[in-house]
Amino acid sequence: MPYDDLLRLIVDPTRLRILAILAQEPLTVAEVQEVLDLAQSSASGHLAKLKAAGFIRDLAEGSARRYRLREDMEPDARRVWDCVRDLYHDDPRLRVDAEHLARLRLEAGTSWVDRVAGSLHRTYAPGRSWDSIAHALLPLVRLGVCADIGAGDGAMIEMLAPQATTLICVDPSEAMVSAGRQRIADLGLSHIRYLACAAEDLSLTEPCDTVLFLQSLQYIADPARALARAISALAPGGHLVILTLARHDHDDCRRYGHLHHGFSPEDLRSWMPGIQTPQIIPLLPETTGPRYQPLLAWGRKG
């Protein structure tokens, strides 16, 4: 559907209010009626239009159907929704609707667990963040001698250090290296060292068990050469892990110093010779615009 049609559809006051409450949690037609004080025919008609345009989907729940925002909206629909949502986030009508929804739940005594079934993966729950889950799983990881390429000022040190026998932080920026060394000194960690070096010129005296590129590849002028150097630094059986961005057309990435508009799986696979059966997985796009999509690649050196 063209942008102008999507915009005309979504800026209808009632449909905008429906999308706003569905962004908080999935609802049935009856619940949408009650929260927004709509007639059944009006609520059903607006929901049908939003579904046809790809903004929402519905799942059977007993004799009713529960509607929710699509986590896999088409890119045009997602851009329109992100833009309109940002423009109207302070609208007094939406705040009143949110209060009505909270009151409905309080009066109904409906279980939150039951309400978010089928959408838990994108629903907020206290303490259940990706950051906390990563910390929970890290104790199971053994990095051995690990090189973190593009380590910056050591933002990941406290997560990686306990799992590594030696951690080598590599970054070409003298300012980042200086800040990172200060961070190591402040933490009193003796098994970590910094190396001021471009990834394309990496040369280590000891073979690595693990080499990491954690959202750093897009900052590297020659990613193919950098990955070749990293693979040569790996011991046989060592692991290469790359977390980067999938190829995109968002020019605001330049604001963050990116030299590349992400990469394709084919790019990464062609740059990983010597890695046995590399695995490359596109992860879910970010929930806020412009919705960059992370790309995860890993494999073992033969």
The per-residue pLDDT for range 219-246, each reduced to its tens digit, is 999 999 999 999 999 999 999 999 999 9
Q: Listing from the earlier edge strand, what are the strands of the sheet with 56-61?
A: 27-28, 64-69, 56-61
The per-residue pLDDT for range 145-200, each reduced to its tens digit, is 999 999 999 989 999 999 999 999 999 999 999 999 999 999 999 999 999 999 99
Residue ranges making up the domain that contains 293: 130-301
Decide which of 71, 100, 120 is a domain's last residue.
120
10: left (phi over 0), alpha (psi -120 to 50) or beta: alpha
The per-residue pLDDT for range 159-170, each reduced to its tens digit, is 999 999 999 999
Do 112 and 255 fall within a single domain? no
Run of H or E residues at 295? strand 294-301
CA distance 245 to 264: 9
The per-residue pLDDT for range 55-71, each reduced to its tens digit, is 999 987 767 788 999 88
Query: Three-state SS for 192?
Result: strand
pTM for this entry: 0.66
Average pLDDT rounded to a whole number, residues 258-284: 95
CATH code of the domain covering residue 20: 1.10.10.10
Please give the pLDDT value at position 214.
Answer: 96
Number of domains composing the chain:
2
Please give the pLDDT value at position 60.
Answer: 79
Decide which of 60, 93, 120 is a domain's last residue.
120
Decide which of 58, 88, 120 is a domain's last residue.
120
14 vs 131 pLDDT, higher one = 14
* pLDDT of 24 above 90: no
Name, in order, each residue with C-beta under 8 angstroms of 172's C-beta and a sequence gap of 6 or more.
Answer: 196, 197, 198, 199
> 47 pLDDT band (50/70/90 cuts)?
very high
Return mean pLDDT, the chain: 89
CA distance 150 to 146: 13
